[in-house]
Amino acid sequence: MTRLSLPVQTTLAGALGGVLGFVLAEAFNSAGAGTLLTTILSTAGWTALLMLPLSLTLLAAENTLGLRGRWYRNMGRILLPALLLGALSGALAQVLYSVALTYSSVPPRLVRSLGWGLMGIGVGLVLGLANRSWRGAGRGALGGLVGGLIGGLLFDSFGVLRTGPDDTGTLARLVGLTVLGAAIGFMLRLSHELGKRAWLTGISAGPVEGRQFILAGERVTVGRAPGADIVLERDADVPEHAGQLLLRDGRWQWEGAPVTIDGQVRSSGVLSPGSRVQFGSSVFVFQSRDGAQAGLPLVLLGSEGPVGVPVSARPLSVGTSGAVRLLGPGVLARHATLRWQGGALALQASAPVTVNEERLAPGQTRFLRPGDLLRFGESEYALVRARR
């Protein structure tokens, strides 16, 4: 069965977090009137209870999808920050809302949207700090801000939803918070995808297949131990503490127990875009946007070895009888067509093809980039840059 893409899975996790936040926050919700101070405190408490399950759910998804080990990793670390940042964002949002209503003509909907954006910033910061990555926290804050703004703008649109004449807006809040969580989850993932500079993508069958780990900071540890940055706990051939990936002079390199890098067993070695790295029985493709290999031709890397994708003005058929000849199980004689368009490579499916876990029906087209995972029939290939 084809897995959902990472953005879709993170979006669904955000939606679930919004639902759980609604359930928890509703117990605290108070619609009664009061002084400005009591209103600010009430909003702060409500937002804190909303942000806590949203942050925990997105962290669980990040742990599961990003090879960080147990789904509950670092949850204890973010409990207090999530509550504090949630309360702070709620209090600031209420102050802004009160000031805007009193002293400006800014539409209340925009002010409320900004308030949700503040909460989105808090979610992004919490997730980044959970992984001890200031760069990740910055990207997360930006993604959370945009997601909160979008979700906040949509929030008021659900105000017309009512279960009956006695409904005080419960259904509208449920739908609105679900959409808000989904928007924050999606934009968090998108911000990380756009901001990533180097990453590993699992290409071997099993638990790592299709999983992606973004390399951040200057040191990434690998092993079966729960405290490693990349946790390969299901691979018995990987040591508890296998070693580390280090960023030195702008290039990532491996140091530690012997691993297989591009077919050679090494205890240390520099990784280049397209490098194939094997830890135990888990195989990854290394990709980087900063690599010196830019502009080189592309290859499809599968079980039968690399298959070149030549630069051509003509369409290139892909299959067992194609110009790009793939011989893996389930590959058809004419499975797809590749076209170079303005320096970009586009794939048009002639039979069902999966690109990064997204299934393409015959006739559908997708532009490809290095690091993409493609499945033709039962065979999976990684699109990587050729090495000199």
pLDDT digits (tens, 9 = 90+) for 134-180: 777 888 899 999 999 999 899 888 877 777 777 667 888 899 999 99
Confidence of residue 4 (pLDDT cuts 50, 70, 90): low
Per-residue pLDDT for 29 more than 60?
Answer: yes
Distance CA 140, CA 55 (A): 12
- pLDDT above 90 coverage of the chain, percent: 44
The pLDDT tens digits of the residues spanning 311-336 come to 777 889 999 988 898 988 999 999 99
The length of the chain, given as a count of residues:
388
Query: CB-based burial of residue 103 (10 Å sphere; 0-12 exposed, 13-18 middle, 19+ buried)?
Result: exposed
Adjacent-strand bridge partners of 348: 337, 365
What residue has token string 């048009």? 348
Angle at 96 between CA 91 and CA 101, to 5 degrees: 130
Q: How many CB atoms lie within 10 A of CB 39?
A: 18
The two three-digit tokens of residue 279, written as one number: 């830890």
| Of 199, 65, 227, residue with least CA distance to 132 | 227
- The torsion region of residue 67 among left (phi > 0), alpha (psi -120 to 50) and beta comes to left
CA 287 to chain CA centroid, Å, is: 16
The pLDDT tens digits of the residues spanning 250-262 come to 789 999 999 998 8
The sign one gets for the Cα dihedral 70, 74, 80, 83 is negative
Q: Find out whether 53 and 181 touch, Cβ atoms under 8 Å.
A: no
Q: Find out whether 124 and 81 touch, Cβ atoms under 8 Å.
A: no
Show Cβ contacts of residue 333 under 8 Å, excluding neighbours closer than 6 positions. Answer: 319, 320, 321, 322
Distance CA 6, CA 24 (A): 27
Distance CA 322, CA 261 (A): 30
The pLDDT tens digits of the residues spanning 351-388 come to 999 998 889 999 998 888 888 899 999 899 999 877 64
The pLDDT tens digits of the residues spanning 66-77 come to 888 888 898 999
Confidence of residue 184 (pLDDT cuts 50, 70, 90): very high
* Distances in whole angstroms, Cα of residue 196 to Cα of each of 3, 117, 356: 22, 22, 17
pLDDT of residue 328: 87
pLDDT of residue 1: 38
Per-residue pLDDT for 310 more than 90?
Answer: no
